Amino acid sequence: MTRPQKNQRRHQNESDCPWQAGARPDPEPIRCCTGEMRFATLIRERTLRRRVRDALMSTGIEVLDFATVDALVTDLQVQEFAAILVEDDANRVESWLAALQAETDRPVALIAIGAGGASGMSRALLHGADDYFVVGDAAEQLVHRSIARVSAKIQRPRKQVWRLGPYKLDISRSCLISPTAEVRLSPRELALAHLLIENDGKVVPLDQLCERLCASTGDAARRAVKQHAHTLRKKCQLVAGPALEQLRVEPVYGKGYRLTL
């Protein structure tokens, strides 16, 4: 193959990648605390995996790639990751996110990465992803948003236990507790409950809830908040039992949600 043909083939391969070939990380180091930060990736598409790896490693983040979720889950038992980037594979992302949430006791940011679209983003967010990165965006945005998500995940609220009537929300244990029972909350349910209870019966705007839970205010984020409000409402019923007055997650039309007793 002649040199022009080789160059032509190389450029064709780069243009085929859904992450734009021109979207490179800024060569100037990003000014953030990335020292000894370790990320894991579960990305099967080779070119996308390489671009994600290059973007992260250019800022000093250590990156380990995994071919299967089983291998990643096994590794989670022996080392910590600040974030895990998961490819938005329509046939696998739900089971991958479920497996990672079940096996992760420490705060780890779960970030889906894919082509975007309302259905894909909603699917990932509803099943536990903390954020969604669209591969057509600039690579440095992946780095900044990943680090921001890690920071938000590891910075626990100063107040660990919130009370409303006979109920307690224990942030450190991710539990909603009554005098007779307790239920465990998913990370998104916990974030929703925390935001509602700290506002003490006041309406929390929907956009604020979307931003806190999904880092977005689009339609996919709104559907995710609605779904998490539904599951939180059912857990409030469960923890109350037959004897206690129930906590109510109330939608306020056109405004947002509030938590009342």
What CATH number is associated with residue 193?
1.10.10.10
Residues 89-140: tens digit of each pLDDT: 888 888 888 888 777 666 788 899 988 888 888 888 878 888 898 887 777 7
Which residue range forms the structural domain that includes residue 82? 3-154
- Which residue from 130, 132, 124, 135 is spatially nearest to 45, judged by alpha carbons? 135
17 Rama sector, left if φ>0, alpha if ψ -120 to 50, beta otherwise: beta
Burial call 9-34: b when 16+ CB within 10 Å, e when fewer: eeeeeeeebebeeebebeeeeeebeb
Residues 173-218: tens digit of each pLDDT: 888 999 889 999 888 888 899 889 988 889 999 998 888 887 778 8
Q: What is the pLDDT of residue 14?
A: 39
218-226 mean pLDDT: 89
Co-location of 32 and 82 in the same domain: yes
Count of structural domains, the chain: 2
Co-location of 135 and 202 in the same domain: no
14-34 mean pLDDT: 40
C-alpha to C-alpha distance for 180 and 223, rounded to whole angstroms:
32
Confidence of residue 64 (pLDDT cuts 50, 70, 90): very high
Distance between start and end Cα atoms, the chain: 74
Co-location of 137 and 44 in the same domain: yes
20-45 mean pLDDT: 59
Q: Which two tokens stand for residue 21?
A: 């070939």
Co-location of 114 and 166 in the same domain: no
- Indicate yes or no: pTM above 0.95: no
Percent of the chain whose predicted confidence (pLDDT) is above 90: 23
Co-location of 193 and 108 in the same domain: no
Q: Which of 125, 154, 183 is the last residue of a domain?
A: 154
Q: Locate the DSSP E strands across 188-253.
A: 204-205, 248-252
Q: Which of 154, 185, 215 is the last residue of a domain?
A: 154
Residues 76-88: tens digit of each pLDDT: 888 889 899 999 9
Co-location of 215 and 116 in the same domain: no
Residue 95, Cβ neighbours under 10 Å: how many?
12
C-alpha to C-alpha distance for 237 and 242, rounded to whole angstroms:
9
Percent of the chain whose predicted confidence (pLDDT) is above 70: 82
